[in-house]
């Protein structure tokens, strides 16, 4: 495993629609391990492959609650959304900014595991927010595109980087 370098806005890879994964091989498994390690090293709660410069539809999420733990998902697609939440968000690729973003409060996301097995996750609250943030990364969307207000946190402690 290895900690990868997190690319920062305005790196163009963050704006590319990421490619669907079709090969479930050892390279993918290594990518997922590296992404988890990189996320934990940066104190993040989620990471999308474009954030380490790899334009593939792969995400990892761990919001730090024991129930959900680490979720690795390949080719995630949000298939249900309902309700609404407005709350603060940050991003490991935009280190000095947070913003208030309106998101669905409950989602269902379908995807595949590292070996290609389909699975789905139902998420509410902060976990639902993290998934929506990471899936946006796969479509070239950053939270600053959606935020109703953006604030500079360079003088304060960063929180909730994704």
Segment interacting with Zn ion, rule: CB under 5 A, options 17-25, 88-96, 108-116, 147-155: 88-96
Name residue 90's beta-bridge partners.
98
162 lines the binding site for Zn ion (CB under 5 A): yes
When asked if residue 60 is in the footprint of Zn ion (CB under 5 A), the reply is no
Per the CB < 8 A criterion, the answer to whether 66 and 47 are in contact is: no
* The only residue of 91, 107, 123, 127 in contact with Zn ion, by rule CB under 5 A: 91
What is the chain's alpha carbon radius of gyration, rounded to the nearest angstrom? Answer: 15
Tell me the HSE value of 125 on the side-chain side, using a 13 A CA sphere.
4
Residue 23: CB minimum distance to Zn ion, A: 25
Closest contact distance (angstroms) between CB of 47 and Zn ion is: 8
Stretch that binds Zn ion, among 18-26, 67-75, 77-85, 91-99 (CB under 5 A): 91-99
Catalytic positions, written as ranges: 134
Sheet with strand 149-152: strands edge to edge: 85-91, 94-103, 149-152
Check: CB of residue 131 under 8 Å from CB of residue 109: yes
Q: In angstroms, what is the minimal distance from the CB of 33 to Zn ion?
A: 20
Helix, strand, coil % over all residues of the chain, rounded to 5:
25, 35, 40
- Residue 88 labelled as part of a binding site: no
Under the rule (CB under 5 A), what is the footprint of Zn ion?
A: 91, 162
Known binding positions for Fe cation = 91, 133, 137
């Amino acid at each position: 495993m290895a900690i990868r370098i997190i690319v920062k806005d305005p790196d163009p890879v963050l704006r590319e629609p990421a490619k669907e994964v079709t090969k479930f091989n050892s390279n993918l498994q290594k990518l997922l391990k590296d992404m988890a390690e990189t996320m934990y090293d940066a104190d993040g709660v989620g990471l999308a492959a474009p954030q380490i410069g790899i334009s593939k539809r792969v995400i990892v999420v761990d919001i730090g609650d024991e129930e959900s733990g680490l979720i690795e998902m390949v080719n995630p697609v949000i298939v249900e959304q309902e309700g609404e939440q407005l709350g603060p968000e940050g991003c490991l690729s935009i280190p000095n900014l947070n913003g208030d973003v309106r998101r669905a409060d409950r989602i269902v996301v379908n995807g595949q595991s590292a070996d290609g097995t389909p699975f789905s996750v139902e998420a509410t609250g902060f976990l639902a927010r993290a998934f929506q943030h990471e899936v946006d990364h796969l479509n070239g969307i950053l939270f600053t595109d959606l935020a109703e207000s953006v604030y500079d946190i360079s003088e304060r402690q960063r929180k909730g980087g994704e």
